[in-house]
Structure 1
């Protein structure tokens, strides 16, 4: 099968980008896969993937970008064109009348009020059930995000990693339990809510990630006198290893599509607490969820997760995640959808 994937972001690497890297690389094992993306992503794909660089930093209304994208796709002559997320779907919508005969697929990765661009797809993949709202039933298909399993660190490696962090933050009381949050320090992740919720919880908090709100959040920690319990680790390439040190992993976001942090946590056998965002509400038990923006509710959810009995509630989820939330499962379902469209 000859497939074109379109990734129209330019620069950052978040859940959307990682999803696309994984899916494209896995699909290339048994298909001819072309990826049209910004040049900054060229080294994210294996040697089997055929990479086409376009400058997606330009506007989705840029005539030259639209012409170049059309020319590139028509030259490849794919059977399937798959647009990842909003901008790619809007671009595909604009050029669809100028493409040769091909089946089209779009994927919704996050909450959108206007989903009209996604309807250019003969099929529309949503990464959580909630995101199918507004999509005709005959087009909608839920395929959960998956990740590659992370190698489990042995006790010695965990101790070495934990010690290296503690050396950076000598003021932390290391005898306490550990809550970890991984995410961009931007408004949508609402880390301020998590810091507020941690005010009266007897545990340390490690915040892994960076962003425009870092200084504001560090000031909040000082104001709440939590500097002896909260550490800002910044961006870390070993974030998934750090996650294995956690007693509880927390999401405090205002919006999500299907957060990869949840996938990674469950695959690492880590209990979670979260706000009631898309994807999470389809997996986590109610007692580990808080209303969006509710600091007291998030505090209660974290306290429930810190209770040893939480392991019993999460054991079935750990097993399910290792089966369903994998790159292999995600790719298999996507491949089956392509084949179904080509048979239609």
Structure 2
């Protein structure tokens, strides 16, 4: 099977790691090519063809480059990620491939996705506006190879892992942290970094909040961690959720994306500042009890939500589409 993955992005975060890990897992049995921007080439282990997919999606140059890449590679499956590349593929005529698309968050505009032969959604909410039966929730996963020899250590801190962008709302977390006397380490980078630095200084949080920047070694991120905190306004199926559970670390989050489908109510708040603040003030003193209640989730993360298992689900859809097309 020849599989082509397409994505467009300016930062390497959850979606990009999702594509990287899935594409690499598929190289074990198939010919795989990833199409994406030049600045991510060195971070992908699968065959990677550089095309500036961050161009305007209606650019005739971009459309020509993608058509040529398809002609040269001759894929059986094209798997597009997020709206932009899905819209480009959906407009191609005389398709000699099967088109699979993934919605990584929640989208009001779904017309391009509905033209795909099959749609994966990061959560049930991702698929709410899809009016066709060829769809399925594909939860994120853990690439177990990244956690080889992982040692949890003794819990000493809480962590935030994600882009420092408005949709992730790290300032909501910092506002809630003003009255919490525990260490907080923030991993990530983004447009809110300077505002976060100012907030930490202005609210005398420098003794217990640290900005850690970006960290590629996930074992360093999750070591010595009491809990992972997610303060987002919107989410899909964040990788940090599954990695934390895989490491036996509870997750405390706003009730967005896939979170209410997995986490107990004691770990969830509404996506507003006051509700999240109340949740942290309730949950952190009871973190040992919450940890105990999450034991079934920890086990499920190790058995169900692995890259190997989730890739097998994806490849089964590929095979079904190709089999049906050949009849």
TM-score of the two chains, using structure 2 as the length reference: 0.92
Match of 2:81 among 67, 80, 84: 84
Output aligned runs, 1:69-108, within 5 Å.
Answer: 69-94=66-91, 96-97=92-93, 99-108=94-103
2:124 aligned partner: 129
Decide which moves more: 142-151 or 246-255. Answer: 142-151
Structure 1 Cα separation of the partners of residues 221 and 160 of structure 2: 10
The answer to whether the Cα contact below 8 Å between 2:266 and 2:290 also exists between their aligned partners in 1 is: no
8 Å CA contact retained: 1:179, 1:250: yes
- Helix, strand or coil: the match of 1:107? strand
C-alpha distance in 1 between matches for 2:195 and 2:128: 35
Indicate conservation of the 8 Å contact 2:176/2:280, yes or no: no
Q: Is the 8 A contact 1:127 1:142 kept in 2?
A: yes
1:315 equivalent to 2:295? Answer yes
- What is aligned with 1:5? 5
**Cα distance per residue 1:279-315 (max 9 Å; x no partner):** 1111110111010023344442464254211122110
CA distance in 2, matches of 1:50, 1:237: 21
Question: Structure 1 regions of 5+ residues with no counterpart?
Answer: 160-175
User: Could you say which residue in structure 2 is the equivalent of 1:168?
Assistant: none
Structure 1 SS opposite 2:183: strand
Q: 1-side partners of 2:265 and 2:134: how far apart?
A: 30
* Contact persistence 1:251–1:275 (CA under 8 A): yes
Stretch of structure 1 that moved more, 142-151 or 123-132:
142-151
- Relative distance call for 1:91 and 1:214 in structure 2 (3 A) is same
Q: CA deviation at 1:89?
A: 0.5
| Compared CA separation, residues 295 and 224, structure 1 to 2 (3 A) | farther
Task: Give yes or no for the alignment of 1:283 onto 2:278.
Answer: no
For residue 16 of structure 1, what is the aligned residue in structure 2?
A: 15
| CA RMSD, Structure 1 to Structure 2 (Å) | 1.9
**Contact 2:231–2:276, Cα closer than 8 Å, also in 1:** no
C-alpha deviation, 1:273, in angstroms: 0.5
Q: Secondary structure at the match of 2:178?
A: helix
Does the 8 Å CA contact 1:288/1:305 hold for their aligned counterparts?
A: no
Contact 1:272 1:305 in 2 (8 A): no
**Matched residues in 2 for 1:217 and 1:299: separation?**
21
Residue among 145, 148, 151 paired with 1:151: 148
Q: How many residues align?
A: 321
**Native 8 Å contact 2:82 2:103 kept in 1:** yes
Q: Measure, in 1, the Cα distance between the counterparts of 2:219 and 2:191.
A: 22
Partner of 1:327: 307
CA contact (8 A) 2:151 2:223 kept: no
Structure 1 counterpart of 2:108? 113
Query: Equivalent residues in 2 for 1:42-53 (5 A)?
Result: 42-46=41-45, 49-53=46-50
Partner of 2:28: 29
- Taking the aligned partners of 1:135 and 1:34, their CA distance within structure 2 comes to 28
- Partner secondary structure for residue 26 of structure 1: helix
- How far the C-alpha of 1:214 sits from its partner, in A, is 1.6
